Structure 1
Amino acid sequence: MDAPDALPVQLARLAREESAPLRSALDLVHAALAQRSGVRRAEVLAHEGGELVVVARAGEPGPVPGECAVVPLRHGGTELGLLHLHGGDPEGVDPAVRAAVGHHLAVALRDVAAAREQAELHRVTDAVRRLFEEGARASSVEAAGRLMAAVTADVLGAERTAVMLVDPDSLVTHVLGIGLPEGLEQQLAASLVGRLARDSPAWRRAAAAGGPEAVDDVATAPVRPGGFVRTLGVRSYVSLPLMSAEGLVGTALCGDVTRRRTWTAADRALAERLALQGAVVVDNARLRELERAHLRQLEHRAFHDQLTGLPNRAALLGCLGDALDPVTGDGRVALLLIDLDGFKRVNDTLGHHTGDVLLQQVAGRLRELLPAGATAARLGGDELAVALPGPATAHAADLARAVHERLGQPYGIEGRAVRTGASIGIAHAPRHATDTTGLLRAADEAMYRAKRAGSGPRTAP
Structure 2
Amino acid sequence: MRTTVAVGGRVRGPGAGTALLRALTRIAETRPEPLQPLLDAVVDHLAATTGPGCGAVVLVAAGPAAVPAAAAGSTAGDAVEEPLRHAGVLVGVLRLHGGARLPAPVAAAVRHHLAAALRERCVQEQLRRSALVSSRLFELASRAVDLAAAALAVAEVAAEALSASTAAIYLVGPGTVMTHALGVRLPAEQQERLARTMLGRRAADSPAWARLQAAYDPDVVEDATTMPVRPGGFVQTLGLRSFVSVPLRAADGLVGAAVCGETQRHRTWTAVDREVARRLAEQAPVVIENARLREAEREHAREMEHRAFHDALTGLPNRSALLRALGEALDGPGAVALLLVDLDGFKQVNDTLGHHAGDELLRLAAQRLRDAAPPGATPARLGGDELALVLPGAGAGEALAVARALHGRLGEPYDVDGASVLTGASVGVATAPGRARDVTGLLRAADEAMYRAKRERTGPRAAGT
Asked if TM exceeds 0.5, the reply is yes
Cα distance change of structure 1 residues 75 and 270 upon mapping to structure 2, 3 Å threshold: closer
Distance 1:350 1:401 in 2: 28
- Aligned partner of 2:63 in structure 1 is 49
- Picking from 14, 20, 23, the partner of 2:33 is 20
Task: State the partner residue of 2:377.
Answer: 374
1:306-341 CA-to-partner distances (Å, cap 9, x unmatched) read 11111000000001111222xxx1263111111111
Which deviations, in whole Å up to 9, do the C-alpha atoms of 1:126-167 show, x marking residues without a partner?
112222332233232222222222211222122222212110
Partner of 2:349: 346
Match of 1:134 in 2: 140
Structure 1 letter corresponding to 2:455 = R
Say whether 1:407 aligns with 2:410.
yes
Q: Distance in 2 between matches of 1:255 and 1:347?
A: 67
Partners of 1:92 and 1:47 in 2: how far apart? 23
2:313 maps to a residue whose letter is L
Q: What displacement does 1:27 show?
A: 3.2
With over 3 angstroms needed to count, the CA separation of the structure-2 counterparts of 1:113 and 1:405, relative to structure 1, is: same
Q: CA RMSD in A?
A: 3.4
Q: Letter of the aligned partner of 1:404 in structure 2?
A: H
Q: Deviations over 1:174-231 (max 9, x none)?
A: 2111233443333333333212211111111111112211111112112233333223
TM-score w.r.t. length of structure 1: 0.84
The answer on 1:309 being equivalent to 2:304 is: no
Query: Does the residue aligned with 1:297 lie in a helix, a strand or coil?
Result: helix
TM-aligned CA deviation for residue 47 of structure 1? 7.1
Within 5 Å, which residues of 2 pair with 1:95-106?
98=106, 102=109
What is the distance in 2 between the residues matched to 1:81 and 1:385?
A: 80
Q: Does the CA contact (< 8 Å) of 2:91 and 2:119 recur in 1?
A: no
| Residues 83/218 of structure 1: CA separation in 2 closer, same or farther (3 Å cut) | closer
Listed one character per residue, the Cα deviations across residues 286-310 of structure 1 (whole Å, up to 9, x for unaligned) are: 2222222221111111001111111
SS of structure 2 residue aligned to 1:191: helix
- Contact (CA 8 Å) 2:15, 2:49: kept in 1 or not? no
Q: 1:285 aligns with which of 283, 288, 291?
A: 291
SS in structure 1 of the partner of residue 179 of structure 2: strand
Alpha-carbon distance in structure 1 between the residues aligned to 2:246 and 2:84: 36
Instruction: Give the secondary-structure state (helix, strand or coil) at the position aligned to 1:363.
Output: helix
CA-CA distance at 1:399 after TM superposition: 0.7
The verdict on how the C-alpha distance between 1:261 and 1:388 changes in structure 2, with shifts beyond 3 A counting, is same
Q: Which consecutive unaligned segments of at least 5 residues does structure 2 have?
A: 1-12, 69-75
CA contact (8 A) 1:378 1:384 kept: yes
Aligned amino acid, residue 338 of structure 2: L
Per the alignment, residue 446 of structure 1 pairs with 449
Cα distance in 2 for residues equivalent to 1:277 and 1:457? 65
Query: Is 1:173 the equivalent of 2:179?
Result: yes
Does the 8 Å contact 2:20/2:45 carry over to 1?
A: yes
Tell me the alpha carbon deviations over residues 257-295 of structure 1, each in whole angstroms, 9 at most, x when there is no partner.
Answer: 211111111111111111222222222222222222221
Distance 1:331 1:242, change over 3 A: same
- What corresponds to 1:416 in structure 2? 419
Given that residues 58 and 96 in structure 2 are in contact (C-alpha distance below 8 angstroms), is that contact kept between their aligned partners in structure 1?
no
CA deviation string 1:353-372 (max 9, x = no partner): 11111111111111111111
Q: Residue in 1 aligned with 2:218?
A: 212
Give the 3-state SS of the residue equivalent to 1:260 in structure 2: coil
Percent of aligned pairs with the same residue? 53
Q: Does 1:244 align with 2:250?
A: yes
1:80 and 1:384 mapped to 2: Cα distance?
A: 78
What amino acid sits opposite 1:283 in the alignment?
Answer: E
SS at match of 2:299: helix
Q: 1:258 to 1:86 in 2, by over 3 A?
A: closer
Partner residue of 2:48?
Answer: 35
Kept in 1: contact 2:152–2:182 (CA 8 A): yes
User: What's the CA shift for 1:33?
Assistant: 5.1
Q: Could you say if the C-alpha distance between residues 85 and 296 of structure 1 is closer, same or farther in structure 2, counting changes exceeding 3 Å?
A: closer
Q: 1:401 to 1:110 in 2, by over 3 A?
A: same
TM-score (norm 2): 0.84
Kept in 2, the 8 Å contact 1:80–1:110? The answer is no
Q: Secondary structure at the match of 2:258?
A: strand
The worse-fitting range, judged by mean Cα deviation, of 139-148 and 245-254 is 139-148
Q: Is the 8 A contact 1:44 1:81 kept in 2?
A: no
Kindly state the Cα deviation for residue 37 of structure 1 after the two structures are TM-superposed: 5.5
AA partner of residue 47 (structure 2): A
In structure 1, the partner of 2:3 is none
SS for the counterpart of 2:145 is: coil
Q: CA deviation at 1:113?
A: 3.7
State the SS of the aligned residue for 2:232: coil
1:437 counterpart (419, 423, 440): 440
Distance of 1:341 and 1:301 partners within structure 2: 28
Q: Does the CA contact (< 8 Å) of 1:334 and 1:388 recur in 2?
A: yes
Q: Conserved in 2, the CA contact under 8 Å of 1:168 and 1:249?
A: no
Instruction: Structure 1 unaligned segments of length 5 or more: list them.
Output: 55-61
In the TM superposition, what is the alpha-carbon distance from 1:88 to its structure 2 partner? 7.8
CA distance in 2, matches of 1:185, 1:275: 23
Q: Helix, strand or coil: the match of 1:183?
A: helix
Q: CA shift at 1:411, angstroms?
A: 1.0
Quick one: structure 1 residues 307 and 47, their matched pair in 2 at CA, closer, same or farther if it must change by over 3 Å? Answer: closer
- Over 3 Å counting, the alpha-carbon distance change for 1:366 and 1:158 in structure 2 is same
Secondary structure class of the residue paired with 1:139: coil
